[in-house]
Each structure stands twice: as C-alpha cells, then as structure tokens.
C-alpha cells in the first residue's frame, strides 16, 4: 500500500479507495503484511502490544503474530501491519534477489489471511464489508465462509474481492491446499486452490466471495471466464476520481440478502 510500499497497481488503489470511502462516511480499517523493505522509522510504525502476542498455526507450527500500526495523517487513517520475523523480515517482497518466487509464499499467504481475521476479532470491530485485494488475500473469503461463518464478528460481513492481472507464473507448494485448512474445514473446502497457480487462487476467492471487482485491464482470460460463470455481482474495471462506483457497489452487496428476503 502506498506510501509504505510502491509495488503494483494494488498499492495505489488500496491507498485511494479507503480514503474515498471514509470521506463518504464509512469507518475503515486497513491490514497489510509488514514486508521487510518497509522502513519502520521513516513510516513511524510502532507495535500494538494489546493486539500482538497471538500465534498463527501453520502445519502444526506456532508462528508469532506481531501487530504494528502507522497512520496516514493526510487521510486520518490507521494501517495495521502484520509482522513475523520468519515470513516477512526480508529485503524483497515475493521473490528473492534473483527473481525466484519464495518457496514459502504459500505459508506467508496463509499466515497473513489467518492473522488478518484474528486481528479484526481482537479489535472487537465487526465489519459490514471486507474488501480483499489480490492473491495474497485469496484465502480470506474461504475462511470467512467456513471457519468464521458463525463468528459474531463476521457472521453479517459481506466479502468483496478485487481481481488484478496475474502476478506470478510459479505454482505454490504442492501441499498448499492441505496447509491452508483450518478449524473445522476439510481439504474439500480448499480443493479449488490446490493447483496453487495465480488463477487457482483467484478461482477459490471468486467461489467464496459475495461480490467481485475487475480491478485491472489485462485480467487472465481463464479468470474472466470463471467470473462470468460465477453468477456473482461484478463491478467492471472503471477509473473514477471519487470511487462513487465502489460506494454504490458496497451498498448493493451489503443489502443483497435483505433484497432477496423481501
């Protein structure tokens, strides 16, 4: 997310969209990984002791979750950073210095998705809309519709998922789908993710989301076909200065169930 990390199109929209929604009256919380090339001193990150101290279990291993926070004064918004020494204290984001996809990107993704939901729970804040961006957050919709579906924090939450251009061509670890299982889930719930490709991650997120945003102009054809056959509400790619289209889309998704009951 800009200005903390300028990596892709996602960094721009995740900076501008929350501010636009806040200015329209939404209460916003932003969560992102604390990648190692984010400068803590310059960006004034500091640890939130009351939120830190949780452990995220992956493959029977306990992984400490540290929560840090920084503010964007111009927007009066706080950003929560999920940190872990083993997963995020690196000079590069998703690939090493030679451009090789990190072998543990699957676990880094699982850690972030589980950690984000546990952090929101610990905040004691029940969101109406959870908007996930890109492949790093692709497991969040699956967790919300299974393990967390009856959780008081999330039981009324609707999930919007933004799809971007495919970012990587290397598949995740072959055991990714099995590692991603949590709580009372089974491997059947994560089977759709099992290929571990960028398109497979999007396919899984699409299946479990309530609304979809086509957030790029060059989305993979295979992914577009999955979207087309999903029968989900879709916001087409369109750049607007005030994000009015997103505001209306959130409203539509939030009221969808009510409209069906009526």
Q: Do β-strands 129-133 and 77-83 pair in parallel, antiparallel, or remain unpaired?
A: unpaired
pLDDT over threshold 50, residue 258: no
Is 145 within a domain? yes
Number of domains in the chain: 1
In this structure, of 14-18, 139-143, 195-199, the range with the lowest mean pLDDT score is 14-18
Is 182 within a domain? yes
pLDDT computed for residue 257 by the predictor: 59
pLDDT computed for residue 77 by the predictor: 86
Q: Tell me the mean pLDDT in the region 80-109.
A: 88
In this structure, of 74-78, 179-183, 195-199, 230-234, the range with the lowest mean pLDDT score is 74-78
Is 249 within a domain? yes
Note the pLDDT tens digit of each residue in 132-187: 998 999 999 999 999 999 999 999 999 999 999 888 888 899 999 999 999 889 99
Q: Which H, E and C letters describe the chain, residue by residue?
A: CCCCCCCCHHHHHHHHHHHHHHHCCCCCCEEEECCCCCCHHHHCCEECCCCCCEEEEECCEEEEEEEEEEEECCCCEEEEEEECHHHHCCCCCCECCCCCECCCHHHHHHHHHHHHHHHHHHHCCCCCEEEEECHHHCCHHHHHHCCCCCCCCCCCCEEEEEECCCCCCCCCCCCHHHHCCCCCCCHHHHHHHCCCCHHHHHHHHHHHCCEEEECCCCCCHHHHHHHHCCCCEEECCCCCCCCHHHHHHHHHHHCHHHHHHC
CATH number at residue 218: 3.40.50.2000
pLDDT computed for residue 261 by the predictor: 42
Is 49 within a domain? no
Asked whether the whole model's pTM tops 0.85, one would answer yes
Mean pLDDT taken over the chain? 88
Is 96 within a domain? no
Is 4 within a domain? no
Is 252 within a domain? yes
Is 159 within a domain? yes
Domain that holds residue 199: 9-27+106-261
């Amino acid at each position: 997310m800009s200005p903390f990390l300028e990596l892709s199109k996602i960094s721009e929209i995740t900076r501008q969209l929350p501010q636009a929604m806040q200015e329209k009256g939404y209460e916003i919380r932003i969560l992102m990984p604390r990648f190692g090339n984010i400068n803590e001193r310059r960006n004034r990150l500091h640890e939130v002791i009351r939120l830190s101290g949780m452990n995220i279990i992956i493959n029977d291993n306990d992984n400490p979750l540290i929560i840090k926070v920084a503010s964007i004064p111009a927007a009066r918004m706080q950003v929560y950073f999920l940190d872990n020494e083993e997963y995020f204290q690196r000079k590069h984001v998703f690939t090493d210095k030679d451009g090789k996809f990190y072998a543990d990107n699957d676990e880094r993704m699982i850690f972030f998705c589980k950690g984000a939901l546990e952090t929101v729970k610990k905040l004691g804040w029940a969101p109406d809309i959870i908007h996930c961006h890109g492949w790093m957050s692709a497991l969040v919709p699956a967790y919300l519709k299974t393990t967390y579906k009856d959780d008081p924090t999330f039981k009324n939450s609707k999930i919007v998922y933004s799809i971007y251009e495919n970012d990587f061509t290397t598949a995740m670890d072959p055991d990714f789908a099995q590692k991603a299982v949590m709580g009372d889930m089974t491997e059947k719930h994560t089977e759709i993710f099992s290929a571990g490709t960028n398109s497979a991650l999007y396919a899984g997120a699409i299946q479990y989301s309530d609304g979809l945003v086509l957030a790029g102009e060059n989305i993979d054809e295979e992914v577009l076909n999955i979207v087309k056959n999903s029968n989900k509400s879709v916001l087409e790619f369109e750049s607007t200065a005030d994000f009015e289209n997103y505001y209306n889309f959130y409203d539509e998704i939030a009221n969808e169930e009510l409209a069906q009951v009526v």
